Structure 1
Amino acid sequence: MKIQKLKRYTCIAILFGFCSINESVMLSSAYPWNTIEKGPYLQNVGKDHITIMWETAYATKSRVDYGITEDCDLFVEYAKKVKLHEVTLRPLRSNTRYYYKISCGFTTRTGSFKTAPNHNIPFRFAVYGDSRAYPDIHRKVAENILKVNPDFILHVGDLVNDGRKDYQWDSQFFEPLHDVIDHIPIFTSLGNHENNAQNYFDLFSLPNNESWYSFNYSNCHFIVLDTNKSYGKNSKQYRWLRDDLRKTNTKWKFVFFHHPPYGSGIHHGSDLKVRRLLTPLFRRYGVDIVFSGHHHIYERSYPIGSAFESKTTPVTYIIAGGGSGPLHKTSPNTWTASTEKINNFCVVNIDGEKLNFKALDTNGRVLDRFTIVKDKGKYQQYVKRAIPYEQIEFERTFPNNITPPVVFLKKGKRLVQGAVKIKNTFPYLVDVRIVWHHLNDWNLKPRQRIVRIGGKKTARIPFTFYSPKLNDIWPPPKFSVIYDTGLGSGRIAGNYLQILLPRELSCNETKTPLELDGRLKEPFWADASSANNFIQSDGSGLAQKQTIAKVVRSQDAIYFALVNESEPKNLSANVKKRDGNIKNDEAVIVSIAPHNDATSGSLHSKEDEIVYQFGVNYKGVQYDSKGKHKEWNGKWKSKTRINDEDWTVEMAIPYNVLELPSPPKNGRRWRINFFRSTRRPVEKSEWSTTIGSPLTAKRLGVLTMN
């Protein structure tokens, strides 16, 4: 309990002796209009103590009558009048059923609880989380938890949708659990939706600082963490966790927090920071199961251990985030033993050296089950099913360490050289086979190669490509990388030969003024050369929705017109203010490097490298930047128009915006490119392939002034 809690007070039970019926009636009738608004609910159960909490409409004394029979012949009372009541009963007998009652006005609530057992007594606990959205579903989960009758419940966070809003605690949490937590204690952990609100710390009575804490129950140790707060190696929480694990020698160890280090829900993915910082401690200090939420799914991992660490044990990771939040789609990973998009909760039975686990849905159907036995021989069977975390990390990072070959197709040149680069960031050997396929009109030698890459080494695997005619180069060849680490094997597909094309465009001069209306009605547009055959930005082939770009110049400005293929019903844009991220809208962007003289192909100063960008979405919202400076704004004009089969845009960019002292002379060559994004279909395309470097001037096409 935090010191700053002013609304509630803890009362330690002192044996007052027998409480007469008359005393109870006098206490209740003193405030006949008062009512119990919340609770009672049970907190922080131990072998010799438990805390009972409830909330009343008006401030009144805190009193609990209790005993080992329903007569409740003992009581504890605190004279301070409060609305939120917290009474800790101590000392109590271990593994004993107690009865209790609280009174408020003419209302009396009764309940019972069982104290924690001594070492090695069998017991059962339930786990679930993410109960924040739909109270009716949460109520069904609670009803099914009640049927399995656990000794206590652990909640892995996101109890409500917004912990700062008082009313949500009633409707989303306490009301659905009303018939459960008056006789089954509940331990909770903080999710991101609690927002670290004071309501959480007021409403619950938990050990330590209530953000992270631990407790023993029978032959088990339970640790609850807060992954919303700092848990880096120098943080208080990390040091506390490490010290707590070091001094714990119970048969079973369980850890609970909100953000999963291994998660297959596509809405969030795995929390890689948790994985990097906390999972080594779990392996080192013998944690058996880690429970999380955040993903509104059920998922269980295979045991995850290490192929190289000594004196570590594998850990099973479970996501029990189906308490009632909107369900998420799931996509199984290497570590996934079982997963399902469904509302769920988990039940764990502990009996000495044996653990039985079940995951159930809201109809009581068993979704998954497994057993761990700590008997030496049988535990080894569990260990043999483990996946090395090193293999999981290799599979996660390896695709990003493959660099496709880049070839520059010059006019008249059919034979080009390129190489696949593969970096092995791990300390062990990796065998790799590269196989080319979907060649279309291309040819290459060899079509496959096998290499062995040493630990922490990079391999360069060369190939010779024979290109078809420029009109037939799309789509480019694909290649797959088949690998074997000795720990596991796999295949990575979907890589393409990256092609740089000699894109060139001419720019005529006109003396006819441009009327910006998006109609392209001026005669000079018909005579302007066109930039077409836009390519998907990932280099996979021609764009599904094509764009035609044209450019002309006057003595004052350079003009652009873009015709963008799309039906009006497919147009979509979210950005409404200038300089927003229109790259995810239906939009176009013109990139210009006017200080780069493409004739010599050299850059003479930092100024030469500047790429100006001018963009507009179909609604007419502008975007511009100077190099990486997105805050830069130039004075230029644009106008869009929506037509039956496309939308068009005209732009007029004065030379002074490009920081040019005079109009470009005939023969002057700029670098230029055109980018297009669509949302239906989702696609990004460009005229000159930049291979992820849109602000690198030498990757842009060439614009020649006629």
Structure 2
Amino acid sequence: MRLPLASLALLLTLLLATASGWPLAGAALQASAEPELGPYLQWVTPRSAVIRWQTAVEAIGHVDFGAPGRLDRTVSEAQPTRLHEVRLCDLHPETIYGYRVRWHDQQTEEYRFRTAPPRGRRRFRLVCYGDSRTDPATHARLVQRILAEAPDLVVSTGDLVAAGRVLEQWKPMFFDPLRPLMRSICYWPSLGNHEQNADIYYQLFSLPGNEAWYSFDWGHAHFIALDSNQRFEPGSPQVCWLEQDLRATRQPWKIAFFHHPLFSAHPTRGINAVRWSWQPILQKLGVNLVFTGHDHHYQRTFAIGSAARPYKPPTWQFTTGGGGAPLYPVQQQIWTEVTRSVHHYLVLDFEDEAVRGRAVSVDGEEIDRFTIRRRERPEEAHFVAWEPFLLEKLVGAALERQELVEAAPGEPFTVERPLHLLNSELPPLTGEVVWEAPAGWQITPERSTWRVDAWKGLEWKFTARSCWPECYPLPRVRFRLYKGSLARNFRNTEFELRPFRVWPRRTVEIAPLPQGAIQIDGRPDEPAWGEAAEQVAFVRSDGTELALQPTRFRLARDAERLYLAAFITQQDIALLDAGETERDASQIASGNEHLLLRLARGDVRYDLGLNSRGTLYDARNGNLAWNPTWQARVAHTPDGWTVEMAVPLTALDGARPRPGEEWRFNVQRGDRKAEDRSEWVPTFGALSDVSRYGTLRWR
């Protein structure tokens, strides 16, 4: 517990009393001897334990403890408080104790707990799970099943509540479901992103170290809790502590638990940067097991480690984020041995040099069973090497640093980009490069060999030709590592990249129309629209391929307004009636079926759009308080929806554009069925980077 309890006393009194009907100070005491929170067990060691609980009013707390049924020892607090913390000392290892807590004239029934085993004890049972936020009913069902497993300790991979700074959430989401478990079994948490590093977290838990990252021993295992939300780069305080802590321990089993997975089975989430900092440390310093959450499903990886000499034992990594939060989909990855999208917990029995594990669903189904032997070297089919991931990162970063390939619509272009990759991190490697080029490309050579030397690095040359937009989808290149190029063989012998990004220089010229030629009703059927050039070929925001469903638009103007008409294909017509109904809701430009016109005039950016229900969205340089008067209507059609927009030029900070003046602009479409964005000019994820927009030329 990091901070003085007084800092939260007033909040605890006011917020918890009003939110949950708890009595304020001075009210009549409850007849029940159950405190508001707890009692709950913390920081159990072979020789000590901490008892925590919270009462409705300030009181001096007492803990009576001893052999079960004979509570002949008492520890009392020095000062009255509401949030109580009492440490029991001079205990015996692996011994059952009884205890009860007292305050004023109330006391709980007797509860029991077992102290931690002495160092070196080679048998214990661990339960691990995480992401229990949001659904207390599912969490409570899991807790009942965990209790039936009779674990010696429980570790959590974080996201205990939905919003850690909201005091009212902690009792119903966390403490109530866990009440029957935490009064007898020590629960060791780690910080998820939803805890928000809140002071409340540090008030409620008693943990070693600085409580954000800490370690403890249990039997013949060393546990390390980390905070993947805080700085994790080499040289940061957390990483320095981690390296020092791992070098100091002599325990045979080393176990790390934290929130964000180093190897995710989520179908759309990218690589978390913490992988590049922590995985080398964990495998170098002998961590055997890694438990994470964040992804609301279950995953067990193959053994992951270095394939170079000297041999280091690999790590097995688990994602156990099925504690109650809404489930996420899964996608089999090269590192994935088992994955399921289900609420669950993980139980592991440590027996000398082996651990036998089971993953169990909330309904009691066994979804995984495995045995890991600490000294056993996994076979090639069950071993994933670290070096290919590092090579992929280095090659990908070098390609990312290269400039965009510029192309003009309808014209051929050539890509000649030699890659020179300096190497200071990889052992010598050899392999080949194989292109996977669609019909619109000519690439030479289609296949070539490569070598990474200790100092020379990697060199790779190619020539690629195509024409825009026939260049989509962009070609892929497959890097293959030859077997035998490292000290041991492994399953992840290849990876795939797109070696360049193509940016089209697109321009629209708009000439004035007669005043009143366009009426805004959502149906672009006025003859005047025929005078505007139709714009097609929307590209996915990452720039890799054309949009899955077509979008077409036209721009026009008169003396007073800028007009846009759009024709948007949507195969799932039912989606058109869904979405936000409140203007400027952030989901309009992200989670809804939507169309967004982005204009940039000098250093000012205007976003004007709407969803398929006709709800408006507008922002000036990202400021949603900007709400000019403009018109937009939608109409639903058998194959999608249409849009008409009219934006007064005076709404765009005054002066009308001069003939020949150029603005930057883009049009973004949100396809809810495909769960993807597409753009007239791809920005490669930098949606607000106006330098990547097209050009609007006023005539």
Q: Percent identity?
A: 24
Tell me the residue number matched to 1:359.
359
1:177 is paired with a residue whose SS is helix
More moved, 693-702 vs 305-314: 693-702
Tell me the residue number matched to 2:26.
none
1:587 aligns with 2:595: yes
Tell me the residue number matched to 2:155.
154
Tell me the residue number matched to 1:599.
none
The one of 508, 518, 521 equivalent to 2:520 is: 518
1:648 aligns with 2:644: yes
**Pairwise CA distance, 1:563:** 4.3
Cα separation, partners in 2 of 1:696 and 1:59, compared to 1, 3 Å: closer
1:178 is paired with a residue whose SS is helix
- Deviation per CA, 1:302-356, whole angstroms, max 9, x where unpaired? 2221234746432222222222222221222222222211122222222333322
- Deviation per CA, 1:453-512, whole angstroms, max 9, x where unpaired? 6564453322466x7xx9xx75857644232123643364889995968x78776666x4
Cα distance in 2 for partners of 1:690, 1:192 equals 28
The one of 431, 449, 452 equivalent to 2:450 is: 452
Aligned ranges 1:62-81 → 2 under 5 Å: 62-78=61-77, 80-81=79-80
Tell me the residue number matched to 1:224.
225
Residue type of the alignment partner of 1:545: P
- Deviation per CA, 1:608-641, whole angstroms, max 9, x where unpaired? xx9987854465857688xxx7789999985433
Tell me the residue number matched to 2:21.
none
RMSD: 4.8
Cα distance in 1 for partners of 2:278, 2:157 equals 16
**Total equivalences in the alignment:** 645
Q: Unaligned regions of 5+ residues in structure 2, if any?
A: 10-28, 483-489
- Deviation per CA, 1:340-375, whole angstroms, max 9, x where unpaired? 11122222222333322222222443322333334x
**Pairwise CA distance, 1:220:** 1.8
More moved, 55-64 vs 316-325: 55-64
1:547 aligns with 2:549: no
Cα distance in 2 for partners of 1:159, 1:496 equals 42
TM-score, normalised with respect to structure 2: 0.76
**Pairwise CA distance, 1:432:** 0.5
Contact 1:434–1:450 under 8 Å retained in 2: no
Aligned ranges 1:225-624 → 2 under 5 Å: 225-266=226-267, 270-272=271-273, 274-308=274-308, 310=310, 312-374=312-374, 378-381=375-378, 385-395=382-392, 401=399, 417-419=414-416, 427=426, 428-437=429-438, 439=439, 444=442, 448-452=446-450, 456-457=457-458, 459-463=460-464, 476=472, 479-486=475-482, 488-490=492-494, 492=496, 512-514=514-516, 517-518=519-520, 525=528, 528-536=531-539, 538=543, 540-541=545-546, 544-551=549-556, 560-565=563-568, 570=576, 576-577=583-584, 586-587=594-595, 589=597, 615-617=608-610, 619=614
**Pairwise CA distance, 1:107:** 4.7
Cα distance in 2 for partners of 1:643, 1:637 equals 20
Tell me the residue number matched to 2:486.
none
Contact 1:535–1:543 under 8 Å retained in 2: no
More moved, 100-109 vs 573-582: 573-582
Contact 1:636–1:654 under 8 Å retained in 2: no
Contact 2:41–2:183 under 8 Å retained in 1: yes
Cα separation, partners in 2 of 1:547 and 1:107, compared to 1, 3 Å: same
**Pairwise CA distance, 1:248:** 0.8
Cα separation, partners in 2 of 1:101 and 1:382, compared to 1, 3 Å: farther
Cα separation, partners in 2 of 1:102 and 1:592, compared to 1, 3 Å: closer
**Pairwise CA distance, 1:146:** 1.6
Tell which structure's C-alpha radius of gyration is larger.
1
**Pairwise CA distance, 1:91:** 0.9
Cα distance in 1 for partners of 2:431, 2:148 equals 51
Residue type of the alignment partner of 1:387: V
Cα separation, partners in 2 of 1:142 and 1:424, compared to 1, 3 Å: same
**Pairwise CA distance, 1:218:** 1.9
Tell me the residue number matched to 1:28.
none
- Deviation per CA, 1:515-548, whole angstroms, max 9, x where unpaired? 6643699998267252344443547458843424
Contact 2:142–2:344 under 8 Å retained in 1: yes
**Pairwise CA distance, 1:436:** 3.0
Cα separation, partners in 2 of 1:450 and 1:87, compared to 1, 3 Å: same
Residue type of the alignment partner of 1:241: L
Cα separation, partners in 2 of 1:219 and 1:541, compared to 1, 3 Å: closer
Cα separation, partners in 2 of 1:528 and 1:177, compared to 1, 3 Å: closer
Aligned ranges 1:124-139 → 2 under 5 Å: 124-139=125-140
Tell me the residue number matched to 1:191.
192
Cα separation, partners in 2 of 1:52 and 1:422, compared to 1, 3 Å: same
More moved, 217-226 vs 577-586: 577-586
Contact 1:334–1:392 under 8 Å retained in 2: no
Tell me the residue number matched to 1:50.
49
Cα distance in 2 for partners of 1:116, 1:463 equals 64
Residue type of the alignment partner of 2:377: Q
Cα distance in 2 for partners of 1:354, 1:129 equals 24
Q: Unaligned regions of 5+ residues in structure 1, if any?
A: 10-30, 594-606
TM-score, normalised with respect to structure 1: 0.75
Tell me the residue number matched to 2:671.
679
2:47 is paired with a residue whose SS is coil
- Deviation per CA, 1:442-463, whole angstroms, max 9, x where unpaired? 5857694435365644533224
Contact 1:302–1:387 under 8 Å retained in 2: yes
Cα separation, partners in 2 of 1:654 and 1:633, compared to 1, 3 Å: farther
Cα distance in 2 for partners of 1:521, 1:160 equals 49
More moved, 263-272 vs 610-619: 610-619
Contact 1:164–1:198 under 8 Å retained in 2: yes
Contact 2:503–2:681 under 8 Å retained in 1: no
2:280 is paired with a residue whose SS is helix
Residue type of the alignment partner of 1:284: K
